[in-house]
Chain A
Amino acid sequence: MTRLTGGLVDRSKPLNFTFNGKSFKGFEGDTLASALLANGVQLMGRSFKYHRPRGVFAAGSEEPNAMVELRTGARQEPNTRATVTELFDGLTARSQNHMGPLERDLLAVNDVLSPFFAAGFYYKTFMWPKAFWEKLYEPAIRKAAGLGALSMLPDPDDYDKGFLHCDLLVVGGGAAGLSAALTAGRAGAEVVLADEDFALGGRLLMESDLLDEAEATAWIAAVKAELESLPNVRIMTRTTVFGVYDHGIFGAVERVSDHLPTPGDNVRQTLWRITAKRTVLAAGATERHIPFADNDRPGVMLAGAMRAYANRWAASPVKQDSDAIAIFTNGDDGHRTAMDLMAKGAKVLGVIDARADAKAFGDYELFAGATVTGTKGRLGLSAIEITRGGQSQWHSVGALGVAGGWNPNVHLSSHHRGRPVWDERLLAFVPSPDGPKGLIPAGAAAGKGGTAEALQDGMAAAIRALAELEITAAEIPLPKAENASAEQAAFWHVPGAKRAWVDFQNDVTVKDIALAHKENMKPVEHLKRWTTLGMATDQGKTSNISALAVMAELTGKSIPETGTTIFRPPYTGVSLSVLGGGDTGPLFRPRRLTPTHYWAEAQGAEFVEVGQWMRAQYFPQKGETTWRETVDREVLAVRSGVGLCDVTTLGKVDVQGADAGEFLNRIYSNMMGTLKVGKVRYGLMLREDGHAYDDGTCARLGEDHYVVTTTTANAGLVYRQMEFAHQCLWPELDVQLISTTDAWAQIAVAGPKSRELLSRIVDEFDMSNEAFPFMGCAELTICGGLRARLFRISFSGELAYEVAVPARFGQALMERLMEKGADLGVTPYGTEALGVLRIEKGHAAGAELNGQTTAQMLGLGKMVSAKKDSIGAVMSRREGLAADTRRLVGFKSMEPQTQAMAGSHLFTEGAAQTMDTDQGWLTSSCYSPHLESYIALGFLENGDTRLGEVLVAANPLEGQAVKVEVVSAHFVDPEGGRLRD
């Protein structure tokens, strides 16, 4: 055990956990990393590429090394940072990315082979033979690379989402964030304070600095208590604000239950979308390191992290108390760590300061003008080589803290492409002034990391933000604090022949950057992609600036001239489950149910998703063994008797107003204003570019009242398009539009016996052909007074009607029709039979109206009226479109029982099957029980003049070639006598 005194762990609450199967004890308040360190465990994992032994490097979310597989079973989560994993009783974690035990990883052979794995090796190696890539190289590389493993089981937990609105969002609950939140909270503003840690305080928790001459925790507790008492302040700990999105919306993940063994009845995480009028970015800073030879051994870590472990978690970085600790720094900050460690009773070897004029801050040995030039230790640090004035000497140490300066956490300020700005005094990038609107950086994130200046800056940022919202905020009394000395030198790495790691997680060294430079990958964007620097799960938080500095040195340019780094969301990894929002499986997205859904379910119908709709696909009967058997029966029942199909899903737009007819003339390509009251007309809509858009019927119910029906798929789009035309194109027309799709349950009653069936339910309505002919419509009552609409239209080619009633009566109407039609053999049919019936009749549907076809191609060229203008009419006459010779025709398989699949392309028999010889394609295909043959619809060059020709329908993906005869698209009743009878 290497537990120190003090700290913010609760020693009265011991917790048991295991790492790689070995049991350990920690305390409440520990992270997995601090608990392991306190147990003397330095080795926590293996590196990505070379499988080098690695230990914890940081103390926060920037951690590149200490990645574990947390939990077991379906909850196993790979690449979890031990540094932000709160310890709970029973926690189980395993190190990852090794073959065999962590201590004896067989894949460590990669380290010996490292000359072969230099920067860009993926791009240079495995090039030959080409065929080996997919089957051999890629699988082998994938197996060797990668970090943790997925459980491959479904996620058992629930996730939630939510929306927050506030005047001020404060990102980060450290010195600056707390003073900002308190200032705004007292001013009465709506405040959301979010911090990724489980405790408020940020860096204040990690330092030994006093506030008002007392431990900082006292001030933090007082501020927290006051904020909690304010109803206008919402404190969200364990919440990472991971991105800034459009319209000032911030994405944040609250880890509701990640600190518990299981979420129990609660959700695991919540995705919050926070709309903030103003934001204070008080995200702190991340320390950077100084690359030197063999700097990646367990025991080497950031000096600020070492200080954090000692002060907050009372954990020493060494394996045993007797091991000495050294600090390697380029500035004053490293000395603070030495002082804090000594105050905790740790054994400090001394401070190696790259500055020749460095001064000691206390009673420890100072190696001024010196650098660390090497390390030893197989699975953990045992010695370092200190070089001063050309003289090198080895010293035994158990840990080394490295302090290379601090980088403001500018990430969120870059999310709207704000470029960070180089600050020569700070030797760091500070947030861009053109970051997201309303975002004000404060404290260490703005380069003001001294405790006193951070407190002051947070308050000032809040006052400024609220002033912009015309809320007056008063200054708050800030605790007495100091700014630690932060002098530093621009010393970026220790030159040498051996490998010096820059990006630990992706195993990128100074040498790799030099090689990239040599290979002319000089722009930072190229450097990143060639070396993969900064592209691991830690996103290079500890490496980006060091890499830029190394590249700058190689190019002889300054750092800002070399490039900046820009950051994209998410700040830290976000699980796909929480982005998914919670519902899975059938609940994943909303489902629209037809008015007869429950009835169809009771009949044992099979359903199919059509957009959001669930539609009955077919209704299997006892004894039927295949879906085809069922569909054939349903189709034949319609052709010989009467069938019922719920067609509510077709869009219905109610169009009223004095100019309704004129409006429809402009919407439809064909004339609609001349339609007589009580009549229905087939209509075609074109897109602006002249292609066919949608088709359907339009019924005129009154002098200035029409009902437009659309296809199911385009219902929303057509309605939107009509609204656009109404509001923006022709606002002068007196038209009122509203969707009534859901209001009416509509049932197709189709087949030669449909009239007889309907006659049994209408109230005193003359159903005769003379009184109510084909393409008639009427408002009437049925079933003893229920108001209804009746349309005599046919999709199947048979005598047919559609009857509409208020949606709540849809199910009862279906039941009534089934009951009344029992002696007529009434048969419910689904979308599958509906499809067969319309293909047999040669009616176009979605497959033919796919956005690439024209009215002419559909054989509807004459429907584009030349007597008036309408949307798309002019464009439909342009040369390229008007000259298209492809026409919709029918196809019949020469072998009736062989299907030519939709999507097959048409070729002359014996011709080569290439793009040049392609003559068209099949759009829809089915088995026609009526013709006892497979049939299809499709577009064929000059198709209307080629009836009787035999072609090959080729489906090269399946190696299929089916001979088909070109026939009329109207397989059934081409004269249309049946539907007019």
Chain B
Amino acid sequence: MIDLVTDLTPICALGGTVARIETFGGLTITEHSDLGLASLALRKGQSAPQPFGLTLPDVGQAVSKDSYGAFWTGRDQWMIEGQGQGAIDFAAAVRAEAPGVTVTEQTDGFTAFEIASAQGAAPIEALMRKLVNIDPKALGAGQTTRTGLEHMTVFLIRRADDRLVVIGMRTLAGSLWHALAVAARRLED
């Protein structure tokens, strides 16, 4: 792993030096600042590699294994996730696992908000109904989609019935958090 050795102090997408976490009734939203992300795209004629032992998933699917994951983003394209890999050169790590394919660093391109429910699937689905025009029943555990949320483009990954991650553009982190927090707070009422 190639660590980013520097004496500069990074900040989180929401501007803090530590990641934001807030609970609204049964829902907890966490700014996931140490999620490494890199896009992986196949070149002409290449077959899908298995970085970190992951079988790269089909349309609309997400997979995970140990602290790594992958979700489908387009034809012959995936985003590779590395939990706790936000502080390293994750693209280099992916490239080492899948030589020859096109890999682009995306850790800093996005912000990931993990939403966990302490009360099963219902609060997650109620939150989705306030935010995205996606049928919660059609986005079950292990499924992913890209959609609009308050005029922002986001990836949704249903990690489990009671866990949803919303990945949006880093520069829109504040607006995205606002949208999620307002909706979660209203469900609390």
Q: What 0/1 readout, one digit per residue, does chain B (22-61) give for beta carbons within 8 Å of chain A? A: 0000000000000000010101100000000000000000
| Among A351-359, A588-596, A867-875, the stretch in contact with B | A588-596
Q: Do residues A743 and B102 form an inter-chain contact, with CB atoms below 8 A? A: no
Name the A residues within 8 Å of B138 (CB-CB).
165
Q: Do residues A656 and B104 form an inter-chain contact, with CB atoms below 8 A? A: yes
Q: What 0/1 readout, one digit per residue, does chain A (242-282) give for beta carbons within 8 Å of chain B? A: 00000000000000000000000111000001010000000
CA distance A598 to B174 in the complex (A): 12
Interface-central residue, A583, A736, A809, A811, by most chain B CB under 10 Å: A736
Name the A residues within 8 Å of B15 (CB-CB).
593, 597-598
| Closest beta carbon of chain A to B168's beta carbon, Å | 9
Known A786-B4, A806-B108, A808-B108: A736·B189 in contact at CB below 8 Å: no
Q: Do residues A783 and B7 form an inter-chain contact, with CB atoms below 8 A? A: yes
> Per a CB cutoff under 8 Å, which of A160, A267, A592, A786 touches B6?
A786
| Closest beta carbon of chain A to B34's beta carbon, Å | 11
CA distance A740 to B8 in the complex (A): 21
By beta carbon, the residue of chain B nearest A656 is B102
> Per a CB cutoff under 8 Å, which of B13, B102, B174 touches A736?
B102
The A-contacting residues of B in range 126-148, CB under 8 angstroms, are 128-138
Q: Does A608 make an interface contact (CB < 8 A)?
A: no
Q: Do residues B41 and A598 form an inter-chain contact, with CB atoms below 8 A? A: no
By beta carbon, the residue of chain B nearest A786 is B6
Contact size range, A: 35 or more
> Per a CB cutoff under 8 Å, which of B106, B131, B169 touches A592?
B169
By beta carbon, the residue of chain A nearest B174 is A593
Q: Do residues B171 and A593 form an inter-chain contact, with CB atoms below 8 A? A: yes
> Per a CB cutoff under 8 Å, which of B4, B10, B108, B151 touches A743?
B108
Q: Does B175 make an interface contact (CB < 8 A)?
A: yes
> Per a CB cutoff under 8 Å, which of B104, B129, B130, B182 touches A654?
B104
Interface of chain A, main secondary structure: mixed
Q: Does B5 make an interface contact (CB < 8 A)?
A: yes
> Per a CB cutoff under 8 Å, which of A597, A612, A738, A784 touches B41?
A738
Q: What 0/1 readout, one digit per residue, does chain A (715-748) give for beta carbons within 8 Å of chain B? A: 0000000000000000000101011111111000
Q: Does A930 make an interface contact (CB < 8 A)?
A: no
Name the A residues within 8 Å of B182 (CB-CB).
582-583
Q: Do residues A785 and B6 form an inter-chain contact, with CB atoms below 8 A? A: yes
Name the B residues within 8 Å of A160 (CB-CB).
130, 186
Name the B residues within 8 Å of A121 (CB-CB).
none
Name the B residues within 8 Å of A164 (CB-CB).
129
Name the A residues within 8 Å of B10 (CB-CB).
806, 808-809, 812
By beta carbon, the residue of chain A nearest B109 is A743
Q: Do residues B109 and A813 form an inter-chain contact, with CB atoms below 8 A? A: no
Interface-central residue, A164, A593, A648, A811, by most chain B CB under 10 Å: A593
Known A266-B189, A656-B102, A736-B43: A812·B150 in contact at CB below 8 Å: no
| Closest beta carbon of chain B to A663's beta carbon, Å | 12
CA distance A488 to B130 in the complex (A): 48
Name the B residues within 8 Å of A738 (CB-CB).
39, 41, 104, 106
Q: Do residues A783 and B8 form an inter-chain contact, with CB atoms below 8 A? A: yes
Name the A residues within 8 Å of B113 (CB-CB).
none
Q: Does A162 make an interface contact (CB < 8 A)?
A: yes
> Per a CB cutoff under 8 Å, which of A598, A785, A805 touches B11?
A598
Q: Do residues B43 and A658 form an inter-chain contact, with CB atoms below 8 A? A: yes
> How many pairs, one residue from A and one from B, have CB atoms within 8 Å of each other in the complex?
141
Q: What 0/1 readout, one digit per residue, does chain A (628-664) give for beta carbons within 8 Å of chain B? A: 0000000000000000000010000010111000000
| Closest beta carbon of chain B to A587's beta carbon, Å | 6
The A-contacting residues of B in range 73-124, CB under 8 angstroms, are 77, 89, 102, 104-110
CA distance A656 to B40 in the complex (A): 11
| Closest beta carbon of chain A to B89's beta carbon, Å | 6
Q: Does A946 make an interface contact (CB < 8 A)?
A: no
Name the A residues within 8 Å of B175 (CB-CB).
587, 590-592
| Closest beta carbon of chain B to A815's beta carbon, Å | 8
By beta carbon, the residue of chain B nearest A811 is B11
Name the A residues within 8 Å of B133 (CB-CB).
163, 273, 275
Q: Does B172 make an interface contact (CB < 8 A)?
A: yes
Known A163-B129, A590-B150, A806-B107: A813·B170 in contact at CB below 8 Å: no
By beta carbon, the residue of chain A nearest B16 is A598
CA distance A677 to B5 in the complex (A): 26
Q: Do residues A742 and B108 form an inter-chain contact, with CB atoms below 8 A? A: yes
| Closest beta carbon of chain B to A904's beta carbon, Å | 36
Q: Do residues B189 and A742 form an inter-chain contact, with CB atoms below 8 A? A: no
Q: Do residues B137 and A740 form an inter-chain contact, with CB atoms below 8 A? A: no
Interface-central residue, A160, A597, A743, by most chain B CB under 10 Å: A743
Q: Does B65 make an interface contact (CB < 8 A)?
A: no
Q: What 0/1 readout, one digit per residue, does chain A (163-180) give for beta carbons within 8 Å of chain B? A: 111000000000000000
Q: Do residues A812 and B174 form an inter-chain contact, with CB atoms below 8 A? A: no
The B-contacting residues of A in range 571-605, CB under 8 angstroms, are 581-583, 587, 589-595, 597-598
> Per a CB cutoff under 8 Å, which of B110, B131, B178 touches A742?
B110
CA distance A734 to B6 in the complex (A): 36
> Per a CB cutoff under 8 Å, which of A613, A658, A784, A806 touches B7?
A784
Name the A residues within 8 Å of B160 (CB-CB).
none
CA distance A612 to B136 in the complex (A): 29
Name the A residues within 8 Å of B89 (CB-CB).
787
CA distance A275 to B44 in the complex (A): 39
| Closest beta carbon of chain B to A115's beta carbon, Å | 53
> Per a CB cutoff under 8 Å, which of B5, B12, B41, B189 touches A265?
B189
Q: Does A760 make an interface contact (CB < 8 A)?
A: no
| Closest beta carbon of chain A to B143's beta carbon, Å | 15
CA distance A816 to B10 in the complex (A): 12
Q: Does A807 make an interface contact (CB < 8 A)?
A: yes
Q: Do residues A786 and B8 form an inter-chain contact, with CB atoms below 8 A? A: yes
Q: Do residues A743 and B129 form an inter-chain contact, with CB atoms below 8 A? A: no
Q: Do residues A808 and B12 form an inter-chain contact, with CB atoms below 8 A? A: yes
Q: Does A161 make an interface contact (CB < 8 A)?
A: yes
Q: Do residues A590 and B172 form an inter-chain contact, with CB atoms below 8 A? A: yes
Name the A residues within 8 Å of B171 (CB-CB).
592-595, 613, 648, 741-742, 807
> Per a CB cutoff under 8 Å, which of A589, A739, A809 touches B151?
A589
| Closest beta carbon of chain A to B81's beta carbon, Å | 15
Q: Do residues A807 and B170 form an inter-chain contact, with CB atoms below 8 A? A: yes
Name the B residues within 8 Å of A589 (CB-CB).
151
CA distance A428 to B134 in the complex (A): 39
Chain B residues close to A by CB (< 8 Å): 3-13, 15, 39, 41, 43-44, 77, 89, 102, 104-110, 128-138, 150-152, 169-176, 178, 182, 186, 189
19 A-B pairs with CB atoms under 8 Å apart are A266-B189, A267-B186, A273-B133, A590-B172, A591-B172, A591-B174, A594-B171, A597-B15, A657-B44, A736-B43, A736-B104, A738-B39, A738-B41, A741-B109, A742-B108, A787-B4, A806-B107, A808-B13, A809-B6
* 12 further interface pairs, Cβ-Cβ under 8 Å (given A163-B133, A590-B150, A809-B10): A161-B130, A275-B133, A593-B174, A734-B44, A740-B105, A742-B109, A783-B8, A784-B5, A808-B13, A808-B108, A811-B11, A816-B8
Chain A residues close to B by CB (< 8 Å): 160-165, 190, 265-267, 273, 275, 581-583, 587, 589-595, 597-598, 612-613, 648, 654, 656-658, 734, 736, 738-745, 782-787, 805-809, 811-813, 816
